[in-house]
Amino acid sequence: MIPTSTITATPWSKQRLASSLFLVLGMDMFMVSPLLPQISAGFGVSIGEASVVAWSFSLVYALLSPAVALITNRFTRRSAMWVGAAVFSVGVLGAALMPTLGLVVAGRVLAAVGASIMGPPVWSFATETAAPHQVGKAVAGVASTFAAGQIVGVPLGGFVASFASWRWTFLAISVLGAVLAVLIGLRLGKEVRVPEKVGIREASADSLNLWRRREFNFLLTANFFAQATRYATYTFAGALLFTRFGLDTAQLGLVGATVGAGSLLGATVGGRLVDWVRARHGSQQLLNLSFAAVMTGFVILATASGHLWFSLAGWAFTFAAGSAFVSNSQEMLTNSAGKNRAYALSWNNSALYAGTALGTFALGLVPLGTTPFILMSCGFGVLTVAASALLWRLTTGPRAPEPLLSPPSPQQ
């Protein structure tokens, strides 16, 4: 546990270095959408079949994250970050070089293993080293870096792929991830936090006991459907915009940048709103309910509109609201889980990526851009709103909220 009450100044340079891992994650996760038509054509498979490149990564991350946290929490955040980044880079390199779709998916699986190792420690490091009044800003900084990876990397990757091959984009991400692994191992420095020394059985009990809290259940359910709403649907955005408006690979990369700008705006504004609401003892649950409603409305516009600019605006604002939603959720978890912070984050990341994987798989079963496709995407958003409303109702009812989602004490 780290004595956060002793932290008076946030080490922003270290935070930026740790968050840089989410730069490559953002590039990697959003890169698949504009490349999906090219991957599909290259292997002679349908768009739905090619989408396995996206959802296989998300599914493996979701399955491994809670189990991996039981091990990585026993080490420093720095160690988990650089080891995870190294494994991630090897996996992405494999995806870039393998000759068959099956072997490319194997590389994506290995990359997901690395991501599951390094993801939760980045979020934990952000809150553990932030001054109490800047935790929201610190969490938003991680989300903003993730969005920056999309803004910079996706259009650049789309441009490269349009002149060379989609493989070069994965190769570039692999090299960048390896460089960051080295920099974090050498320059992140010592941590105030003392790694947990409890046994695996006790750690497992601490992790599983989180599910006994209803607030935790509702929050993770909302996050699951939020990711299905925006990320799973966006996996098909490239193919949807290609078939509906005739955009080429380079143009689809620019669309990714536009969506990334929306994510960056949402994370930045959302993080400051979180700090503002907490300082005034407002309801973060109500804030998330509002974000969920906005996200759901705009994903309908993004998928149903027959006008290019309306569709682009829909995608941008879907991701702005969704990014603010997830940033607020992460802040609620990290600020209230105490010594179980890493376990709570690992379950949350599992829910996020499970929502992406299962949402992508489900959407891949229906014809692209049809009414069932739009209704399914919208349905994910409605379920996000419902779970968020139940969480808000639970935390404002006559029963006092359970400790996990109540404001943290100065000693946590």
- CA–CA distance from 23 to each of 1, 98, 279, 283 (Å)? 27, 24, 30, 30
Tokens read off for 68: 């991996």
Measured between alpha carbons, how far is 37 from 41 in angstroms, rounded to an integer?
Answer: 6
Nearest to 233 by CA among 375, 329, 109: 375
50 touches 331 (CB < 8 A): no
- Burial of 340-349, coded b for 16+ CB within 10 Å and e otherwise, reads bbbbbbbbbb
Task: Determine contact, residues 53/170, Cβ cutoff 8 Å.
Answer: no
Q: Note down pLDDT in tens along the chain; length 412 residues.
A: 454 445 667 788 888 999 999 999 888 877 777 787 788 888 988 877 888 888 888 888 888 888 888 888 888 899 999 999 999 999 999 999 999 999 999 999 999 999 999 988 898 888 888 787 777 778 778 878 887 887 777 777 777 777 778 888 899 899 999 999 999 999 887 777 777 677 778 888 888 888 888 888 899 999 999 999 998 898 888 888 888 888 876 777 778 778 888 888 888 887 788 878 877 888 889 999 999 999 999 999 999 998 999 999 999 999 999 989 988 887 787 666 667 777 888 888 888 888 988 898 899 889 988 999 999 999 999 999 999 999 999 887 555 455 454 444 333 3
Report the 10 Å Cβ neighbour count for 411.
9
In order of their start, the domains of the chain are 12-405 (1.20.1250.20)
- The span from the CA of 181 to the CA of 18, in Å, is 10
Phi/psi-derived region of residue 21, left when phi > 0, alpha when psi is between -120 and 50, beta in every other case: alpha
Going by C-alpha positions, the residue among 191, 172, 153, 178 that lies closest to residue 84 is 178
* pTM for the model: 0.74
pLDDT at site 110: 96
Which residues have C-beta within 8 Å of that of residue 131, sequence separation ≥ 6?
Answer: 7, 8, 9, 10
DSSP track, 83-133: HHHHHHHHHHHHHHH-SSHHHHHHHHHHHHHHHHHHHHHHHHHHHHSS-GG
Cα dist. 219→41, 42, 279 in Å?
Answer: 39, 40, 21
Alpha helices in 129-213 (DSSP H): 135-163, 166-187, 200-209
Q: Which of 41, 169, 160, 180 has the alpha carbon at shortest distance from 97?
A: 169
Exposure letters 296-320 (e unless 16+ CB within 10 A, then b): bbbbbbbbbeeeeeebbbbbbbbbb
Q: Rounded to whole angstroms, how far apart are CA atoms 258 and 371?
A: 25
Q: What is the pLDDT of residue 208?
A: 87
- In the block, tokens 């992140």 appear at 188
Question: Given phi > 0 = left and psi -120 to 50 = alpha, else beta, which region is 281?
Answer: left
**Nearest by Cα to 169 from 159, 179, 178, 177:** 159
